[in-house]
Amino acid sequence: MQNKIFTFNSFINEADLRGNIGIPGEEGSGRESWLDKIARGSNQEAREFLQRNRQDIQGFMGLIQKSQSLQRGKEEELSELAIAAITELYGSLLDDVTLDLKIESQQSVKQEMEETPTEQTEVEKILDTDLINQINKRKILRTIQQGKGLSVKAILNLSIFKDGLREIMGAQASEYLETLNKISSVAQFFDWDIPEEAQKGMWQTRQGFSGSCTIEFDETSDNEEAAQQVLDDLANGDDIINSPEADDLVSGLGVSVRARGVDLSVLIHESIKGIYMLVTQASLETLYGGDAETVIQNTDTLLDELQEIKYGRQMQNAFFKIVADHPKVKQVVDSLINTDSSDMEIASFQERVNFLFFGKIAMLGQEDASEMLTLVNAILSESSEAAELCDPIINEVLDDLNQEDEYQRSIAGDTRDEEEPTNFTQKKTLSQEEVNDAIMDAYEKGDMEEVARLRREYLGESKILDYRLWVALNS
């Protein structure tokens, strides 16, 4: 049973972090809400930031004008730097993803956002518990993805950006980077400090937007006939590995992360958010069309982002802390540090582990989202139970990266001892064609275990291809 409601406040309550059972203290346990705890700490941080940085806060618009003046005429090179750095950071996890990243004017960004709904003016009140949990699940995933993008300073200050900026901007590189760091810090202060009602007014008129991101699935060929043939083959139980129609179906579909920003820091923020959006979108895979649409309607408007921005940074910190604290992850990081690995190698390992962990958590509870929400609740609570529950998941992530490392080395013709432990260093990336060829080679040799491993490894969650195929088959 569903009842109509027509007010914005009623709508916002449907997608609120308040009452979300994935949030400690919001599940009716009687303990203090995690949201209240974070709010108390953030209020204190904001007061301290105000005392230390009053001049930067008052001169915020001047900082923005300065950054745009320094980068003028170099927007294309800076955009290419962002693509190169993010490609290196995530490695082969983004092999089949096109990064469409550009620095553009604020007016262009505003136009990009015109198509995004501000709010849902009429929705149905949801009474189905399972559907409410799916909405709550997506709300948490969106908050973490938003927070991951907001952790931009950790990425912006890697050596790859510092070196790249020196090549592009010469003597002005340090000044530009310092300005971007100040802008990011003050913007973060404003995100928390400006009253929500004031932010709503700005967002409703599309004022003040500095960036945007979307993911797009692009068909490059007319594959309706191929899709129908694959559906028929699947219905008949036929093997589609050797099917030219299946090959045409996959090769004709591409996924792009489209990000726009008024400067390099905003562009990186939107790009990382877009990359995580791939997983958030893939988590809808098992929902029927009507349910998926309802979940999206209740979570995917501009005004939904206000709360996600406020709590995103702290939520992603708490969410990924359990990964950073895992003994095996710490062992790899320590090993990289002790062998004088570059900051980019260390950051790449950490980012890829986090991304795959996020993907595996997002895929939990496809039938019953309460499973995922219960685990996230435990993670945010930093309970010992959470460490036990996440241990096999993190071990699986590390195994995935080890298998990927071995496969990439085999493709590159590396003859090192297979028992040599990996350092998770950067590897030669594989195109979709190379992955398909490897699977076909194993299939033709009758090595079905290798076929299964390759399909699991390269057509699984980490490659986002399951969802792409699902989109094609159900379009």
User: In whole angstroms, what is the distance from residue 444 CA to residue 473 CA?
Assistant: 26
Residue ranges per domain, the chain?
A: 3-473
Within 10 A of 295 (CB to CB), how many other CB atoms are there? 24
Q: Is 384 exposed, middle or buried (0-12, 13-18, 19+ CB in 10 A)?
A: exposed
Q: What is the pLDDT of residue 410?
A: 80
CB-based contact 254:217 (threshold 8 Å): yes
254 DSSP β-pair partners: 218
User: In whole angstroms, what is the distance from residue 284 CA to residue 263 CA?
Assistant: 32
Helix (H, G, I), strand (E, B) or coil at 215: strand
CA contacts within 13 A on the Cβ side of 141: 34
Relative to beta strand 97-103, strand 253-261 is parallel
Q: What is the pLDDT of residue 128?
A: 82
Q: Is 334 exposed, middle or buried (0-12, 13-18, 19+ CB in 10 A)?
A: exposed
Sign of CA dihedral 302, 99, 110, 103: positive
For 242, the enclosing helix (H) or strand (E) is none
Q: What is the pLDDT of residue 415?
A: 45
Both tokens assigned to 338: 């002790």
Residue 216's contacts (CB-CB under 8 Å, 6 or more residues apart) are 255, 256, 258
DSSP 27: S
Within 10 A of 333 (CB to CB), how many other CB atoms are there? 17
Mean pLDDT, consecutive 10-residue stretches, the chain (475 aa), reads 32 62 88 92 92 94 94 96 95 89 86 61 68 91 92 89 95 96 92 76 64 76 55 53 50 76 93 92 75 80 78 94 96 92 93 95 85 95 93 94 82 55 41 63 68 61 36 35
CB-based contact 173:77 (threshold 8 Å): no
With CA atoms as reference, report the closest residue to 464 among 386, 364, 355.
Answer: 355
CB-based contact 352:341 (threshold 8 Å): no
Return contacts of 247-251, CB within 8 angstroms, 24+ apart: 247/436, 248/221, 248/223, 249/223, 249/469, 249/472, 249/473, 250/432, 250/436, 250/465, 250/468, 250/469, 250/472, 251/221, 251/432
Helix 465-473, helix 244-251: angle, nearest 10: 110
Q: What is the pLDDT of residue 40?
A: 92
**Strands, E, within 324-443: which ranges?**
none
Q: What is the pLDDT of residue 291?
A: 82
Helix 432-444, helix 244-251: angle, nearest 10: 160
User: In whole angstroms, what is the distance from residue 317 CA to residue 291 CA?
Assistant: 30
DSSP 247: H
CA angle 440, 441, 443 (to 5 degrees): 60
Within 10 A of 180 (CB to CB), how many other CB atoms are there? 26
Q: How far is CA 5 from CA 119, 167, 261, 269, 346, in A?
A: 13, 56, 36, 35, 50
214 DSSP β-pair partners: 258
pTM score = 0.77
Q: What is the pLDDT of residue 327?
A: 95
Helix (H, G, I), strand (E, B) or coil at 444: helix
